[in-house]
Structure formats: structure tokens, C-alpha cells
Amino acid sequence: MTRRSPDIEKPTDRIAVFPGSFNPFTIGHLSIVERALPMFDRIIIAVGINTAKPVDPESLDKRLSDIRNATASLESIEVASYSGLTVDFAKEHGARFILRGVRSVADFEYERQIADVNRTIAGIETVMLFALPEYASVSSSIVRELQSYGHDVTTFLP
């Protein structure tokens, strides 16, 4: 959902892609988007699809609409899905930055490697924000696990 017409977009606009699985989109993800907004003219939240692990179209649509609802009050946010390399998606959308969140040392080392490769192959810089302490233990995988046992997960969702 673009809330800004592409024809008024300037080549100097600072556009960031925030890629992830967002399965589901949590309060931790939303917090990263909100805190990064002042840094960019536009943020594209991009749900990455691993072609080796096909996702059914209905669940992808639901994921996208959940993210759109969660970010409906925010300006300059777009929500999309993609497959393939994140840097290729970023370039196609005129984005010079990738946005990521870091919760732990494990996240840090993983993100550092990917950021390094993305800068080397595409000249795209990664901007990382540290998770707020209160969200540092929130993860989509834990939310999914709780859901699988029928536990209420609304505290972790926007």
C-alpha cells in the first residue's frame, strides 16, 4: 500500500527496505519501523518468500493485510512481498538501504555477515537498530509455537 505517489518521488529520497518473514509481524517489528521512520522518506516492509518453501497464497495475503493494518496510521510505509535476493528487490524499488533489527549477539553476527555481503555485491548499506529491551525476547517463532498450543498471543502482536 503506497501512501505516497511514486511520481513525486525524488531520486534523492531515502528509501529503506525492511525485509523479513514477519510470520507473524510482532510488536518488535512494529517498533523497529516506528523508530526508523524519522531516518527515511519511505520504508518498504517486504515479506520475503523462500521459493524452496512455497507459502500458500491465502496465508501470504493474510500476513500482508495484518502488516498493513498494523501500520495503517503511519505515513510513508509500503507493504509488499518478494522472492529472490533482497538487494535485487531493493534496487528495483530505488532503495539504497536495508533496515534490520538486532536483539542479541546471535542476531548481530548473522546480520553483520549479510550486511557485509549486501554492501559488497550491491553497495546497499544496512541500518540496524537495537531492539528495545522490552521487546528483545519477542520473536515470530516463539509466537508461532505458543499459537500451536492454542495460547493467546495478543500481547506480542500489534
Query: For binding to ligand ADP (CB under 6 A), which residues are involved?
Result: 20-22, 26, 28-29, 32, 100-103, 107, 131, 135, 138-140
C-alpha cell at 8: 513525486
Question: Active site residue: 29, 42, 93, 100, which one?
Answer: 29
The least distance separating ligand ADP from the CB of residue 75, rounded to whole angstroms, comes to 21
C-alpha cell at 142: 516463539
Is residue 93 among the annotated active site residues?
no
Rounded-to-integer distance, Cα 146 and Cα 140, Å: 10
Question: Active site residue: 5, 10, 53, 148, which one?
Answer: 53
Give every CB contact of residue 36 below 8 A, 6+ residues apart in sequence: 16, 18, 43, 99, 127, 129
Is residue 140 among the annotated active site residues?
yes
Q: Which residue is nearest to ligand ADP (CB)?
A: 28
Rounded-to-integer distance, Cα 80 and Cα 64, Å: 7
Nearer to ligand ADP, 6 or 74 (CB): 74
Is residue 115 within 8 A of residue 17, CB to CB? The reply is: no
Is residue 148 among the annotated active site residues?
no
Is residue 91 among the annotated active site residues?
no
Q: Give the residue numbers annotated as catalytic, written as ranges.
A: 29, 53, 103, 140
